[in-house]
């Protein structure tokens, strides 16, 4: 038995837009991924939605909450911050140097309308979790089906 799938052309357009944004970002804007000495690195994020909210999680180990700046303008979310390098160790004394220091900035488009004034940010164990409640007009609506009572037939 085949399932019917509702075709939503806007979803395909948004997916194409997101793919083009990522392609442009990866190719031109985020050169620091290839040259980390430039001081800025790409912030990895996960974004998902439930019926009532959009949740964004970002891994920022080693950062303090006061080193992170979050802004939401329209449908554009920007997370940025800067972590200063510990200068107590001389460059020539390092055996391995893999921890990241410097600035990061990540801008993404939120795919649905959210209530920015009700947004919450929680920082725990190096994970930043943003909870953005959806606007009422984009929340799924449940419509209850009523049964109409049949009139009694008189004999």
CB-neighbour burial class of residue 60 (10 A; exposed 0-12, middle 13-18, buried 19+): buried
39: domain CATH number is 2.60.40.790
Structural domain of 110: 10-87+96-138
Q: Is 4 among the domain residues? A: no
Q: Is 144 among the domain residues? A: no
Count of structural domains within the chain? 1
Q: Is 119 among the domain residues? A: yes
pLDDT tens for the chain, residues 1 to 155: 667 767 666 666 667 777 777 776 665 544 444 444 444 567 889 999 998 999 999 988 888 888 899 999 988 999 998 877 767 777 777 777 767 677 888 999 999 999 989 999 999 988 999 999 998 887 777 778 888 877 665 55
Report the candidate in 116, 127, 120, 121 with the shortest Cα–Cα distance to residue 43.
127
Report the candidate in 70, 78, 83 with the shortest Cα–Cα distance to residue 123.
70
* Predicted pLDDT at 155: 56
* Predicted pLDDT at 25: 66
Q: Is 152 among the domain residues? A: no
């Amino acid at each position: 038995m085949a399932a019917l799938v509702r075709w939503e052309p806007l979803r395909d357009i948004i997916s194409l837009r997101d793919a083009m944004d990522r392609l442009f970002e990866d190719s031109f804007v985020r050169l620091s991924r290839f040259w980390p000495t430039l001081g800025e690195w790409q912030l990895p994020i996960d974004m998902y939605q439930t019926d009532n909210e959009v949740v964004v999680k970002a891994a920022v180990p080693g950062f303090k909450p006061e080193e992170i700046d979050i802004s939401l303008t329209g449908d554009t979310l920007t997370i940025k911050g800067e972590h200063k390098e510990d200068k107590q160790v001389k460059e020539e004394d390092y055996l391995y140097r893999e921890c990241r220091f410097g600035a990061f900035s990540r801008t993404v488009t939120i795919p649905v309308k959210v209530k920015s004034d009700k947004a919450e940010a929680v920082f725990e164990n190096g994970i930043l979790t943003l909870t953005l409640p959806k606007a009422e007009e984009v929340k799924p609506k449940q419509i209850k089906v009523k049964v109409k009572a049949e009139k009694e037939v008189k004999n």
